[in-house]
Amino acid sequence: MEKLIVHGGCRLRGSVKIGGSKNASLPILAASLLTPDTVKIRHVPDVSDTNYMLQILNSLGASVERSSGTVRIDSMDGISASASYDQVRKMRASICLLGPLMARLHRCTLPLPGGCVIGDRPVDLHIRAMQALGAQVRNSGGNLYLEAPNGLVGTTVDMRGENGPTVLGTDNLMMAAVLAKGVTVIESAAREPEVVDLANFLNKMGAKIEGAGTRRITIIGVDQLTGCDHTVIPDRIEAGTFMVAAAMMGDGVTLRCICQEHLESVSALLTECGHHLEFNNRGDVVTITPAHSPRSGKIVTAPYPGFPTDMQAQMTALFALTPGISVVKETIFPQRFMHCSELKRMGANIKVDNGAAVITGVERLSGAPVMASDLRASAALVLAALAAEGVTEIHRLYHIDRGYERIDEKLQDLGAAIKRAADSESGD
């Protein structure tokens, strides 16, 4: 195991290139199973989640080649319909294999993904979507068994869940429907940019999808899909994380390869808190200058285009050092506050109750040994460590490696005093 050692107090300056979106890459990689032709996907981040997905595709019989952010996949005839538990258990997003396997093979055996530390994330909506298209589903021995002997048939499916639309559920249904007979209409579809990117990828393959990015997506089934060449969108959560880092400890930090449109809610909040953001005309570069007198803020997480749940932990780290009282209300995963106890170890003043955190800004944080509990919580700890006095050790580094490509190297390039080291005390 590894840990991060951060010497706080260094000012960040310079520029950094934002990588491809992890959350867009995963379903796009899974969708490569929909065709026997060659698919080339560019700007795929080198993170553990995408590596796990490529391993799963390889275990299913696909030929996978990876070089410098570009992945080439050939899913020729003979693809297996059964994934192994050893691979699936490492990544909940493996559930997005349901759609492409059912579309192409009309059958699928998939071990149920493991639990998630940020709360219950049921797969009921994914199963309901497959059943709506005609799949027979049974759950036995920890495995999902699905089959549709006569193929999938289009219909209208409402994908609204208890806490709003489901992104991966929308992805799964869209991938299953592209080869189904007839027309499928997805009501209450997720509007996230990652859903739009998947739709664009599928349309390049010959699918007929309209409405991605709205609450209603219409898919006209086709007989077959072909290979294509696609570039994944920038990772808006990585970009948001570096924007917060620049607001906390920046001295003129520029982010390249971003998409301004995807960052509107985060940009609006940072501006509201007094920080200055300057985008170029194309909206693919932004320079962040910290506020001289930062102001407190309020977050209510919501599905896109609302404030993303994947950014609330990072903003909590910023609010910990912002004068006044800030409030974070989590409506997607009400239990997603495990980072707060670790921030309090560093001196933050945070009270968590009933799905909300009230943060009273303090003058300083102190370095301390802390433990990452999930992907975005670990990013919040890195941000706090950059601004803290003294040295912070962040254990369970594997959490942050799930979704941030070379985050330590990118921060080093900006002037941070941060390094990896072997971790003999992680307990893992």
Query: How far is C-alpha 239 from the geometric centre of its chain's CA atoms?
Result: 12
Which residues are annotated as catalytic? 116
Count of C-beta atoms within a 10 Å radius of residue 416: 24
Helix runs in 178-221, H state only: 193-204
Q: State whether residue 350 is helix, strand or coil.
A: strand
In which residue are the tokens 């940020």 written?
A: 118
Nearest CA-CA partner of 294 in 266, 265, 326: 326
> 157: Cβ–Cβ under 8 A, 6 or more apart, which residues?
128, 129, 132, 133, 173, 184, 185, 186, 187
Cβ atoms 72, 39 nearer than 8 A: yes
The whole-angstrom separation of Cα 56 and Cα 118 is: 24
Contact 376, 310 (CB under 8 A): yes
Q: Which of 27, 414, 39 is nearest to 225 (CA)?
A: 39
- Look at residue 104 and give its three-state secondary structure: helix
